[in-house]
Structure 1
Amino acid sequence: MRVSQWWVSVTVLAFLLAPASVTGSDRAAAVPGDQTTIDRHIEEAMAQAGLVGVGAVIIIDKHLVWSKGYGFADRQRGVRFTPDTVMNIGSISKTVTGVAMMQAVEQGKLSLDQDINAYLPFKVANPSFPSEPITLRQLATHTSGISDRWAVYQGLYHWGGDAPEDLCDFLRNYLVPGGRDYSPENFLPFKPGKHREYSNIAAGLAGCIVERAVGQKLNDYTRERIFAPLKMERSAWFLSELPAGVHSTLYVAQDEFSIPIPLYGVTTYPDGGVRTSVSDLSRLFIALLDDGEYQGARILKPASVAEMLRFQYTETNKPDNVVLAEKNSGLFWSTKFNVTRIGHGGSDPGVRTEMLASLSRDVAVILFVNTSLSEQQAKVYAGLMDELWRYAEGLKAR
């Protein structure tokens, strides 16, 4: 998800950093010098940029080996940020939607390459290419031609609670001529499958299709078929599904100020609505890295995981604006750092998250930050990931 930055004045940031909350393995404890170094780098970055809370885990050879929280989940109440702190994770949520989609494919309820109109009670067609079908595969690789028109998309955020509008009702109004939010500008002037543009609303549409296929709302279905089997007990889609006070406060940082903002929901919640902890999310990540299984709980068949993680763009079948050495895509799964890491990231007001693994899947890192930075400061997030990745590779070498 993407949201424009906005700022207000507040009191000056002052916070203490938390000690280690948990280590997942003796491997982490066996390198105290390295632990001190990673702590120092993270703490210095937090102090300089005004980050209030940070959580991270490291996964080596599909096992959680290290996890830690720094700073505050709620600075005013003095609640520390730990690996069990819950916050919304932005677009990493699309991977959960992707798992649910692949489960429906396994069940024979969906096909990745069928015209999506076979699954919808309303017709979706690009007005520039009305006879060209749009498929789930295109929705999941951001090549559907559906665009996030900002004048509409920004209004989908509901400050102070869950969004009240029904997901599929909004999509009908956005994608069907005559709808409240319809415009030809909701579609790109490119044939479906031929051009890549990241689309949150397309991910929301995939979620709506899954809901109709499985006969349940996505939040209920994923709670039963993904979160519960993986014992992700602190994970949900909606604020109303969480106990009061469990969610991290979110902040926007500017200069030396960190400003708390209201919690929120979004109408197209399959594109970014999951709320979880780094500990819980590590279970899902390990399952995807390990052919669909975590500690005896299987959420997908190996073939389904392989298709979800497979690079979908090839020399003979790629979007016209993609350079394969710089970018590729799975199904709601993406590459970063010039195709050297795979996974997904997330960005929203008060939120920055990353869930990335090496191409060989032997090293992986999850990072949560409950503080938004300006575009000029955003390199701080990359710096944190670099330090965590360096530490992870050190653990792997031992």
Structure 2
Amino acid sequence: MILFKHFLIALLIIFTSLSSFAQNEKAEANIREVMKQYDAVGLSVAVVKNNKIIYTHSFGLKNIEHNTPLSDNDIFRIASISKSFSATSIMQLAAAGKLSLDEDFSKLIGFKVRNPKFPDKVITLKMVMSHTASLNDSQGYFSLDGINPDKGVNWAKCYNNYEPGTDYQYCNLDYNMIGTVIEKISGERFDQYVKHHVLDPLGLYAGYCVDSLDNSRFVTIYEYDAKTKQFTPDPGAYNPRREEIKNYVMGYSTPIFSPTGGMKISATDLAKYMMMHMNYGKYPGGNRIIEKKYSKIMQTKVTEKDGYGLAIRTVDDLIPGVTMKGHTGSAYGLFSGMFFQPDKKFGIVVITNGTSAPETDGFNALIKASINSLYNDFIK
């Protein structure tokens, strides 16, 4: 009887393994079809179900010139998903009582941040974090000089014509300024603050500083030219900016690290980070990174436009019939997506280092198709 029971268990294990293998094979075939349709160079994916990472895989190439295959161990600059790491850091400081979301942003950053068309309207930290501060990127965002009235002659052009807090415009400058506030309030250099207070507690290999990471793990990112139908590597994605860092001014030079888009991380580690947000600030069985109250604030829509909260969007048009939370990223030819369902405890991360796919309805077509394919094969 005992032998028969062991035999049944062994059969069950074999059946489960074969079933899982077949599911993976089907899912991978579907992803390869999507990649072929949109000329993807490489694609790294991770799927979370029932609060566990159930699948990770990397497809295609890390580097075209050397025909190097992409692996799960490789890291990408993930572009605007990086904003959520900055927002996470702000929430830690808010929970510690070191700042308030309703605080005058001018006092936090150390120079006047006021829309000259509405000089009496206070621009708050929360407005900047939700892209409702009436700011734009017209004067660039890799330096604060453009918006600082003491440094830039065209600072007034950084402001839109509507009253702060009444409308939404996505703005990269917003989060490079947010990174500066983190630095001024914490006293730690921005990249080090995120490492010590977000990455290390989660056990993630990632960072904003290029020279603090193993550059052999960087995935080459390719811009696609629709006219020539060629992919060209863009070295700007991993520009170490060593000279600028050598002359770094704490509390002002922060945009060098691009808090708005400069995080470098693998799809698998990004999925672990995503799980922390999916569980409202606490990694399952691990460390609490943000207090639940502040995690929920991050995920709450401030504006209907783009469903934007504080570096986390709420979207209903990514997967049909499913409301998701998360963010996308695009820069240098890279496209990324990190979206999760906090109630049902599933989420999907996809990152490509190059594709011919266009953007439609606010999503890169490859990213949207890949997420839907993985959802249908592993979640649905």
**Partner in structure 2 of residue 216 of structure 1:** 188
1:38 to 1:257, Cα distance in 2 relative to 1, 3 A: farther
TM-score, scaled relative to structure 2: 0.83
Q: Write out per-residue CA displacement over residues 220-267 of structure 1, whole angstroms, 9 at most, x where no aligned residue.
A: 00111111111102x010222212322011112346532222143474
Shift of 1:210: 1.2
Whole-angstrom distance in 2 between the partners of 1:152 and 1:246: 29
Whole-Å separation in 2 of the counterparts to 1:248 and 1:40: 23
Pairwise CA distance, 1:85: 1.2
State the 1:349 CA deviation.
1.1
Go from structure 1 to structure 2 and tell me whether the alpha carbon gap of 1:152 and 1:117 turns closer, same or farther (over 3 Å shift).
closer
Tell me, yes or no, if the aligned pair for 2:278 and 2:342 is still in contact at 8 Å. no
Alignment match of 2:171 (pick from 194, 199, 206): 199
Matches within 5 A, 1:1-398: 30-149=19-138, 152-153=140-141, 156=142, 170-171=143-144, 173-177=145-149, 179-180=151-152, 182-233=154-205, 235-254=206-225, 256-264=229-237, 265=239, 267=256, 269-294=258-283, 295-313=285-303, 322=304, 327-338=306-317, 340-358=323-341, 360-373=343-356, 375=358, 378-394=364-380
Shift of residue 108, structure 1, vs aligned partner: 1.0
Cα distance change of structure 1 residues 271 and 181 upon mapping to structure 2, 3 Å threshold: farther
Shift of 1:63: 1.2
AA matched with 2:235: P
Q: 1:109 to 1:28 in 2, by over 3 A?
A: farther
With over 3 angstroms needed to count, the CA separation of the structure-2 counterparts of 1:376 and 1:93, relative to structure 1, is closer
Equivalent AA in structure 2 for residue 277 of structure 1:
S
Which segment drifts farther, 304-313 or 343-352?
304-313
* RMSD (Å), alpha carbons: 2.3
TM-score (norm 1): 0.79
Tell me if structure 2 keeps the 8 A contact 1:176–1:182. no
Q: Secondary structure at the match of 1:37?
A: helix
In structure 2, the residue corresponding to 1:65 is in which secondary structure? strand
From the superposition, tell whether residues 303 and 142 of structure 1 become closer, same or farther in structure 2 (CA, over 3 Å).
Answer: same
Report the 3-state secondary structure (helix = DSSP H, G, I; strand = E; otherwise coil) of the residue aligned with 2:231. Answer: strand
Question: Which runs of 4 or more aligned residues in structure 1 lie more than 4 Å from their structure 2 counterparts after TM superposition?
Answer: 26-29
Mapped partners of 1:208, 1:292: distance in 2: 23
Between 1:331-340 and 1:49-58, the stretch displaced more is 331-340
Q: Which has the larger radius of gyration?
A: 2
Q: Secondary structure at the match of 1:131?
A: coil
Going from structure 1 to structure 2, the CA distance change for 1:386 and 1:28 (only over 3 Å counts) comes to farther
Provide Cα deviations, 1:63-107, integer angstroms capped at 9, x if missing partner.
Answer: 111111101112333432122210100000001001100001011
- How far apart, in 1, do the equivalents of 2:21 and 2:344 lie? 25
Residues 27 and 121 from structure 1, CA distance in 2 versus in 1: closer, same or farther, beyond 3 angstroms?
Answer: farther
